[in-house]
A = this chain, B = another copy of it.
Amino acid sequence: MNNLVSMTDLSAEQIMAVIKQAQLFREGAISQLSKSYTMANLFFEPSTRTKMSFEMAERKLQIEVLPFESGFSSTLKGETLYDTIKVLESIGIDALVIRHEENNFFESLIGKVKPVIINGGDGTGNHPTQSLLDIYTIWQEFGTLEDKVISIVGDVSHSRVARSNAHALTRLGAKVRFVCPPQWQGEFDAINEFDEVIESSDVIMMLRVQHERHDGNTSFSKEDYHEAFGLTIEREKRMKESSIIMHPGPFNRDVEIASELIECNRSRIFKQMENGVYVRMAVIEMILKGRE
């Protein structure tokens, strides 16, 4: 692993190696990096959890993190992403986390610049560390992904998570089903009735309704969406005993998920965020060590 831009870069073995290293970090392992490194996190779209999660991971690895304010950088003067990254390479940055609204932004970078590139989310395309933390959370729960039934529910066509997760989960042996209204399924096959999958799911992974990506003519009111595709208290009661609830956040309370369920016993929502730090530590350390 030389960079991480998409889950398709990773074999099943590599995914499991990340998961196991994340678990070691969770248990208190300390960084094996032998040099001092400098990183920067370039977030061209708003983010709290992913940006601060990477920042925490980097600090825990004793990496020096330079601040980068995307809203105040030379990209405002029309500089291309490639040119910005070459500048950062020149001043001595070893690795970059980048979130960018353009799908596959990294194609202009991989193989052309020296710093490690880690994709922190590109447009509606990939968000590989989110997939990895989801996989880690499921593995932590069940010890395996083999034959686990995972229902990904909601705004499938606009979700980075759905795309990133679909192939990886399947490759690890899970059975993935998308559940959404017909107009939101994009290129995916999907089940259009949430109630069909409740009892049979080991994992119900709710997606955020992306208000900011729809253009205002969504055919649902919040109440109607909650009724038809939200995880309601009533639906939660029908889930099987061992099954869990996940959500990548940020969530819309009482839209895709009932407010009371956010911190219920089945919910792994904040656990996912904890796991994100360990997974990111694992990814960064593995890539940097691999280049040493």
Binding site for B on A (CB under 8 A): 38, 40, 43, 46-49, 52-53, 55-56, 59, 64, 66-80, 83-84, 86-93, 211-212, 249-253, 262, 270-271, 273-274, 276-277
Contact = CB atoms under 8 A, between A and B. Distances in A.
A252 B78 contact: yes
A48 B70 CA distance: 9
29 contacts: A40-B52, A43-B72, A46-B72, A46-B74, A46-B76, A47-B72, A48-B73, A48-B74, A48-B84, A48-B87, A49-B74, A52-B66, A52-B68, A55-B67, A59-B64, A71-B72, A74-B249, A77-B212, A77-B250, A78-B211, A78-B252, A79-B250, A80-B253, A83-B249, A83-B253, A87-B270, A91-B273, A91-B274, A91-B276
Given A46-B74, A49-B91, 7 more contacts: A48-B84, A48-B88, A52-B87, A69-B69, A74-B249, A83-B253, A89-B270
Nearest to A212: B77
* Copies of this chain, tallied across the complex: 3
A87 B156 CA distance: 23
Contacts of A74: 46-49, 249-250
Contacts of A78: 211, 250, 252
Pairs of residues from A and B, 8 with the lowest C-beta to C-beta distance, nearest first: A90-B273, A48-B74, A48-B73, A90-B270, A74-B250, A79-B250, A46-B76, A49-B87
B71 A47 contact: no
